Amino acid sequence: MNNSVAGFSKLTKEEKINWIANEYFAKPAEAVATIKQYWNSDVKLQQLHDEFIENTITNFYLPMGIAPNFLINGKYYSVPMVIEESSVVAAAAKSAKFWATRGGFKATVLNTEKIGQVHFLFNGDSVKLQRFFDAVKQTLIASTESITANMQKRGGGITSLELRNKTGELEHYFQLHATFETKDSMGANFINSCLEQLAKTLKQEAQNHADFNEAEKEITIVMSILSNYVPNCVVRAEVSCRVEELAEKKIENPQLFAEKIVQAVNIAEVEPFRAVTHNKGIMNGVDAVILATGNDFRAVEAGVHAYASRSGKYSSLSHAKIENGIFSFWMEIPLALGTVGGLTSLHPLVKTALEILGKPSAQELMQIVAVTGLAQNFAALRSLTTTGIQEGHMKMHINNILNQYQTNAEERKMIKTHFENNTISHSAVVSFIENLRKP
């Protein structure tokens, strides 16, 4: 079967669906029905979704849940989370409730600097290039004024511009390294527009520079693009309490519990195989809020994992200690987020999520996201060091198995009663269902 197609993007939505159905499915009519059942009945709303990306055929749904009782800097939040993994929202809510009675979370934005770079090649004297840059730096910045005017009114704009010599790493390679303040906007389009103008002006000025020879005048612009690594756009989230205050139903020995949490974090600090899974748990919380608020979780993921490797070895994002009878648990994480522009003003559920959060500024959203990640991490460590991670996870996962096997209400009741006192596993649940259904 030849599954290639010419001019797919020019087909209508119906034609795209019919081609997919006929090309890949034994029962095309069923495939079309499945695809179309996720269309929104509101035509205008569906058109809005269709225009988010290219070659749209339908909507792919993810559940949106709420984790209430997050006490952050003295203010309560109900946090919207979009994620498909069972037990994540429940764990976040449980962790939020736990810490709300112990003073809550504290969050502090340490910096909001974002970065963009013009990458270029220069075949000449680097000393002459530096003199040239010093002479034209203000001209470069001034050339972006039509782009930065509105951002400057809000207190943002280009905050610094420097020339970096990278020829020690790659022959003839230099860069303009720019830093930005974008206020409540994530700022990707703004930053990239500024960088492209800087590149254009750099090339023009070089061609007119009297001290350059002909080869030096021909600066080669390779690319102009923001960086998703933002080590100076960082927020700190933390909790602390007296060790004895950790006590509750499943924590009968709070000192031992605190020590095991610290040991577990220490392991993640030195062992990359553990650190990746440890940090993935943090990102369960972070990504879920980022998705709900219309931000770019792929950019955040890339930046966060680079940050976790900044020492030269991949390590834990979170840290813990016991000092003078006080248990402290904290994390610093880079987050470049926005609450205006992009999906934040287009997607109805993104607007709803931001309303639930009280229409936060970008800095407040950074705090909420970081705290949710820390809460998720605490919940995972709490399970790992007490009952084990699978007890709570499998109780949530059992619903997926029951849905997969289309169990009825009576079967569900019998299955859940049975597994209240028996170990839950996928095979055990399936076996129990099959035995129930035997004649």
Positions annotated as catalytic residues are 85, 280, 296, 393
CA distance 382 to 220: 54
